[in-house]
Amino acid sequence: MHRFRNKTQRLGGVLLALSAASIPAAELTPPAAFTTNCLACHTIDQAVVGPSLVEIAELYPERNRASFIKWCVEPGKKREHLPQMPAMVHVAEKDLHEIFNYIREVTKGVKRVRPSGADPYALSPGKTRRPRVERTFVPDSGPASIIVALPTARKHNVIWDTDSCRLRYISEGETDNWPYLRSNGNALAKVGEVCYVEHSPIFVAGKTQFKGCHLSDEGYPTFVYTVGGTTVTETISTAGGAIVRTIKASPRLPGFSLPRDQGDKLKIAAETAGDTLIIQHRIGSGT
Ligand code: HEC
């Protein structure tokens, strides 16, 4: 009996080892925060826009976890031939830890490969999916702005400035980060045609401070910030072809003034209910 048990235990061990070996690390599912925020520039074994995950894993073993997080939030300028990496201030620290774990796991036993001479920028799969959130440098907004590319028929993009904690403008058409990447960071991304400008902030008084950004499972962002001492959340999504901004604060919204219709291509409809303000932008009938 005793010997038999030992045998099955050994067999169990072999089976376990086999099934673990039959899942190549590269088939691990990446965390959503990686797919949305990093994949466009970092792939597993090839330098695309930024260094490969294999190179990153070599630079950042477990004991360098804290400096990895610090780099993501406040990237330096290291490699002369590459553009500057945009700061990932909008990614929650918890998600950065998850991304770190993923990078350590997925690169186990993987070697770097040299690019095949194909256009390295064309390899980025995260570039056209909608909804998506992209951190880059855009015209007419602060240096820490985020593009929220929405899945409307006209491919609307909300440009949200994390310095002043507000929507700056909405454009339509595919965004293009290439000018920024190719120019080594000296040019700005193209954001399509601007169709709505928000000339003044919604919250009229109080100092604002950006706290972070969470993504829903579908990839819609919720920005978190404070106005005065009040915490506000602002979710950007779509419904029935319209762009929907759902702004909430507890226990009540700080003083606000609604954006006015200025004959832009997008018509504004706003309503408040208690602690919630909903602003919709719809394509006007005359356009
Ligand atoms: C728009 C492109 C872009 C995106 C998006 C991006 N990176 Fe980078 N990343 C770069 C570039 C370019 C470099 C190289 C910068 C340099 O060497 O000056 C880099 C370098 C790095 C490094 C190496 C740091 C070092 O010490 O050499 C790490 C780690 C890193 N990125 C992590 C991330 C993570 C995690 C994300 C997502 C949360 C991310 N990056 C998103 C472009 C990007």
In this structure, are 91 and 55 located in the same domain? yes
Pocket test for ligand 1, best of 35, 36, 42, 112 (most atoms within 8 A of CB): 42
Separation of CA 151 and ligand 1 centre (Å):
26
**Which atom of ligand 1 is the closest one to the Cα of 55?**
23
Tokens of 33: 């925060």
Is residue 7 situated within a structural domain? no
pLDDT by position in tens, the chain (length 287): 343 333 333 333 333 333 334 445 556 788 888 988 898 788 888 777 889 999 999 999 999 999 999 999 999 988 887 888 888 988 899 999 999 999 999 998 887 776 555 555 554 555 678 898 887 778 888 777 889 999 999 999 999 998 899 999 999 998 877 666 666 566 677 788 898 999 999 998 889 988 888 888 888 999 999 999 899 999 999 998 899 999 999 888 999 998 887 776 788 999 998 899 999 999 865 44
Domain final residue pick, 82, 114, 146: 114
Residue 22: predicted pLDDT = 41
Assess whether 273 and 142 both reside in one domain. yes
Tokens 């919709």 found at = 280
Ligand 1 lined by 59 (C-beta under 6 Å): yes
Residues 272 and 150 occupy one common structural domain: yes
- Asked whether 71 lines ligand 1 (CB < 6 A), one says yes
pLDDT of 48: 73
11 conformational bin, left if phi > 0, alpha if psi -120 to 50, beta if neither = alpha
Q: Which residue has the tokens 């702005």?
A: 145
Q: Which of 114, 143, 161 is the last residue of a domain?
A: 114
Distance 50 CA to ligand 1 centre (A): 5
- The CB of 39 under 6 Å from ligand 1? The reply is no
Predicted local distance difference test score (pLDDT) of residue 134: 82
Cβ(188) to ligand 1 under 6 A?
A: no
> Is the distance from the beta carbon of residue 49 to the nearest atom of ligand 1 less than 6 Å?
yes
Residue nearest to atom 2 of ligand 1 (CA): 41
Q: Ligand 1 within 6 A of 182 CB?
A: no
CA distance 56 to 108: 12
- Cβ–ligand 1 distance for 40 under 6 Å, the answer yes
**How many domains, the chain?**
2
Q: In the prediction, which pLDDT does 16 show?
A: 35
Dihedral, CA atoms, 26, 32, 38, 42, nearest 10 degrees?
A: 10
Structural domain contains residue 199:
yes
- Per DSSP, the chain holds a count of helices (H) and strands (E) of 6, 11
Q: Which of 114, 135, 150 is the last residue of a domain?
A: 114
Domain ranges, residue 31: 22-114
- One domain for residues 264 and 137: yes
For ligand 1, atom 40, name the residue with the nearest CA: 38
Residue 251 within any structural domain of the chain: yes
CA-CA distance, 245 to 265, in Å (whole number)?
17
Q: Quick check: helix, strand or coil at residue 208?
A: strand
Q: Which atom of ligand 1 is nearest to the CA of 49?
A: 12
CA distance 203 to 257: 7
